[in-house]
């Protein structure tokens, strides 16, 4: 039994090596992204561990079949970049890691909300552009406890975000197409998505990407929001129409945004060794705005998350090869 992990970052290597040693299983790793061309490196291996935002295509799963590889264990949650029908057609079983550390992402969403609420970006801009650093009434912020936070998506991550915002004294409301039955009195659901959008001072996204919510946050949605509202996306880039978000920020339809994930993320984004300059015009434009905090899909990135992502993914591969049941099968 031996496995190979693709698109491995430097911070994952110690955990991969430890898992292999602890289980006495050969685990190779490469920094390359998994594609129909690079999968040739996996020849002779029993399973692949993957982590990437670019697509797992039909051609890739055909290559799986040709190499006789039947197992793909993701080291992340999202499955919107998978051709699941092609995987099934070519006999490839897939697992993901639905809960590597919900706390990590929830904490990052709150961090972004605090950064934007206290207008830290405006202070940084003053220092960068004017080489000045002094008190300004333009930097006056708002307490989280003065605001209504709208959580869109009340799964594991959303529920942790609710607890953290509640701990800071916020009023929390939520919307989910599939609401949980018992909220323990921590929050209440709004009657509609539009109702949440209108009421919230801060909106934080915590749902998976699906065909139904593609560009759910668009010009019409931003128009519904308060012009003092802050928008946080640590979920998936496809949920937000980037051009409409930029317009909303520039025109004053909303007051600020925390963006950890954006549409059409490149493979370089997750390459820990990449030294390429950012060329995406939208990313550059957003990064220049003092009312925006943009980060490279790093909300998950804590020691706990990385360890769990590696260990759970490898555990899944081992179980599948041994014919044991796995709870996190993607179908």
Ranges assigned E (strand) in 145-185: 148-152, 171-175
Which tokens go with 291?
Answer: 């009312």
Residue where the block lists tokens 């602890």: 22
Rounded to the nearest angstrom, the gap between the alpha carbon of residue 149 and the centroid of all alpha carbons in its chain is 19
User: What is the rounded CA–CA span in Å between residue 8 and residue 13?
Assistant: 7
Residues 303/330, Cβ–Cβ less than 8 Å: no
* Pair 302, 15: CB distance under 8 Å: no
- Cα gap 107→104, rounded to integer Å: 5
CB 196 within 8 A of CB 190: yes
> How far, in Å, CA of 7 to CA of 271, rounded?
7
Query: 230: phi > 0 → left, psi -120 to 50 → alpha, else beta; which?
Result: beta
Class of residue 109 by CB neighbours under 10 A (exposed 0-12, middle 13-18, buried 19+): buried
Closest of 142, 251, 250, 159 to residue 201, by C-alpha: 142
Cα–Cα distance for residue pair 286/297, rounded to 1 Å: 14
Q: Which residues are catalytic?
A: 236, 265, 297
Pull the structure tokens for residue 27: 């685990």
Residue 93 · residue 242 · CB < 8 Å: no
Residue with tokens 């209440």: 188
Three-point CA angle 176, 228, 230, nearest 5°: 45
């Amino acid at each position: 039994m031996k496995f190979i992990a693709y698109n491995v970052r430097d911070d994952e290597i110690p955990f991969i090596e430890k898992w292999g040693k602890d289980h006495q299983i050969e685990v190779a790793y490469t920094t390359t992204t998994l594609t129909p061309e690079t999968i040739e490196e996996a020849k002779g291996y029993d399973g692949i561990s993957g982590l990437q935002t670019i697509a797992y295509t039909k051609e890739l799963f055909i290559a799986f079949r040709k190499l006789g590889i039947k197992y793909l264990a993701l080291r992340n949650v999202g499955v919107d970049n998978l051709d699941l029908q092609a995987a099934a057609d070519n006999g490839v079983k897939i697992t993901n890691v639905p809960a590597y550390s919900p706390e990590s992402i929830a904490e990052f969403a709150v961090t972004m909300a605090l950064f934007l609420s206290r207008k830290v970006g405006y202070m940084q801009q003053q220092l960068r552009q004017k080489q000045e650093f002094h008190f300004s009434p333009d930097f006056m912020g708002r307490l989280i406890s003065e605001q209504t936070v709208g959580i869109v998506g009340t799964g594991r991550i959303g529920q942790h975000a609710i607890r953290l915002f509640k701990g800071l004294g916020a009023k929390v409301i939520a919307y989910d197409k599939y609401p949980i039955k018992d909220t323990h009195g921590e929050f209440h659901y709004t009657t509609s998505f539009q109702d949440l959008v209108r009421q919230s001072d801060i909106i934080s996204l915590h749902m998976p990407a699906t065909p139904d919510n593609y560009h759910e946050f668009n010009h019409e949605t931003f128009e519904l929001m308060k012009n003092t509202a802050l928008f946080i996306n640590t979920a998936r880039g496809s949920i937000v129409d980037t051009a409409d978000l930029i317009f909303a920020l520039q025109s004053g339809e909303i007051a600020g945004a925390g963006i950890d994930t954006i549409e059409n993320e490149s493979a370089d984004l997750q390459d820990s060794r990449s030294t390429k300059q950012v060329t995406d015009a939208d990313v550059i434009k957003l990064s220049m705005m003092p009312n925006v905090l943009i980060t490279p899909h790093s909300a998950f990135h804590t020691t706990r998350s990385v360890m769990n992502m590696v260990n759970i993914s490898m555990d899944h591969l081992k179980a599948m090869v041994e014919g044991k049941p796995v709870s996190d099968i993607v179908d």
